[in-house]
Amino acid sequence: MMNDLTLLQRILVWILPVVFAITVHEVAHGWVAKKYGDNTADMQGRLTLNPIKHIDLIGTIIIPGLLLITGTGFIFGWAKPVPVDPRNFKNPRSDMAVVALAGPVSNLLMAIFWALIARVGVTIGAGTESISLPLIYTGVAGISINLVLALINLLPIPPLDGSRILTGLLPSYWAWRYNQLERFGFIILLVLLSTNVLGMILAYPMFIAQQVFFSIAGL
């Protein structure tokens, strides 16, 4: 569907979904952390939807931009992590697991939002392509980036959110041993990505999730 667009059109279609998928993901962590007693993100001015506060040059601009330009069909990225101090939680490990889960959940909620945007475009129908097509294209981009971010972050690879969730479920000793992998987490993720193992892991869950959200969008 996106292959019919020029590079400039693809950038215009993807820019808002990508920036806000990444931004809202981080704000969700900080907002839930505040609810559990940690005001660190709030005190540093990170509980805002202003993308400038969250933009990471590499993760928010360079990586998504390169993936978009090269036409891989697979776009993801990250923002500056919102600071969270588990020492402020009553139950640090279990509360941190809930804070971690907030990120992927926010992406799923945003995927619903973008599906409804696309649905509006579909409902408007033929004869109003100047309005309906941008809504549909942007909605599809919003669904895709948010599902990718949700699924990637649920992987149990430190320091991804999935690892924080798993840490909250493991016995203390094994949680500590498991978190020792964090120093290698980014390398592991890059290896999985470059060898297409990550694509194979995510392909079926992504297919099923897209079917669900595209049906909401009426596509």
Q: Which residues are catalytic?
A: 26
Check the CA dihedral 46-47-48-51 and report its sign: positive
Q: Say which DSSP state 167 is in.
A: H
Using CA atoms, how far apart are residues 73 and 14, in angstroms rounded to an integer?
12
Instruction: Pull the structure tokens for residue 151.
Output: 């699924």
Using CA atoms, how far apart are residues 1 and 196, in angstroms rounded to an integer?
23
Question: Do the Cβ atoms of 78 and 62 come closer than 8 Å?
Answer: no
Count other C-beta atoms under 10 Å from residue 187's C-beta.
Answer: 9
What's the first-to-final CA gap in the chain, in angstroms?
11
Question: C-alpha angle with apex 140: 135 to 144, nearest 5 degrees?
Answer: 150
Distances (CA, A) of 169 to 33, 156, 166, 172: 18, 12, 5, 9
